[in-house]
Structure 1
């Protein structure tokens, strides 16, 4: 199965990066640009919204949340995303930096949609980096590079 993989370097403490990935407030800052619903405790679910949507674009179950790894399983969303895993493995880097290793695994096949998702994940990880370092995020729609519809 094909997977999406990204590695970035962030000049911010691992705890700050973790909090941006593991809380609904943090995720909204670097990814969706809109409030999420639900909770981010292990076993809980949260929905992500983009634009003016009335229903979530995706619903994630939190399957892992430790200081060095956050993993979500996609329960609802685009068909190609269903049952895929989104993981952020956080590695300390230098004295006060973090290297997230991002994976979106379990895709059934490589498609044009997957290519667009790869591009957009890279952009949103760049938003995470910029926001963690300076507070200047580029969440949706500013971070969206590959548009659909």
Structure 2
């Protein structure tokens, strides 16, 4: 199995602003995609829509202020059954986000594209946590013809 990993730090007073950005529909819509709907509680399903398509995630695990885990239940075939995890910790005034998108069956070109897109969205998460304004889709950085 293949995994995408990223690490960012957001200058915040606690993990709470980042955790809220990951666990509320409004928070998610402010850094990932404005077209976000659903139920962000454990067992709920969140629908994320983008101009070229979308993903549905089941919320699998939430540890307040520390951990979020989703399972992809609908979207591109390469994503179905994969997991997305955000581990939060504190270091020198920063909330550290250790991100992983696990379970990719093959190291296909789409994995490389998604890795770069995740990096841009994690920077949007950082921006949103620090300033209250992110760069969610459709106002995100366009990196290729797949956007």
Q: TM-score by structure 1 length?
A: 0.91
Unpaired runs of 5+ residues, structure 1, are none
Aligned counterpart, 2:87: 89
Aligned counterpart, 1:31: 32
Q: Given that residues 58 and 77 in structure 1 are in contact (C-alpha distance below 8 angstroms), is that contact kept between their aligned partners in structure 2?
A: yes
Residue 59 of structure 2, aligned match among 46, 62, 70? 62
Tell me, in whole angstroms, the C-alpha distance in 1 between the residues paired with 2:143 and 2:7.
20
What's the CA shift for 1:46?
Answer: 1.1
RMSD: 1.5
Compare the two structures and name the one with the higher helix fraction: 1
Q: Given that residues 40 and 46 in structure 1 are in contact (C-alpha distance below 8 angstroms), is that contact kept between their aligned partners in structure 2?
A: yes
* Cα distance per residue 1:15-59 (max 9 Å; x no partner): 11000011111111000022x2210110111111123x7xx6111
Tell me, in whole angstroms, the C-alpha distance in 1 between the residues paired with 2:70 and 2:79.
11
Compare the two structures and name the one with the higher strand fraction: 2
Map residues 1-149 of structure 1 onto 2, 5 A cutoff: 1-12=1-12, 13-34=14-35, 36-51=36-51, 57-67=54-64, 68-94=66-92, 96-147=93-144, 148=146
What's the CA shift for 1:145?
Answer: 3.2
The number of aligned residues is: 144
Q: Given that residues 119 and 145 in structure 1 are in contact (C-alpha distance below 8 angstroms), is that contact kept between their aligned partners in structure 2?
A: no
Q: TM-score by structure 2 length?
A: 0.92
- Secondary structure of 2:86's counterpart equals strand
Q: Given that residues 127 and 139 in structure 1 are in contact (C-alpha distance below 8 angstroms), is that contact kept between their aligned partners in structure 2?
A: yes
What's the CA shift for 1:144?
Answer: 3.6
Q: Given that residues 30 and 124 in structure 1 are in contact (C-alpha distance below 8 angstroms), is that contact kept between their aligned partners in structure 2?
A: yes
Unpaired runs of 5+ residues, structure 2, are none
After TM superposition, which residue ranges in structure 1, 4 or more long, deviate above 4 angstroms? none
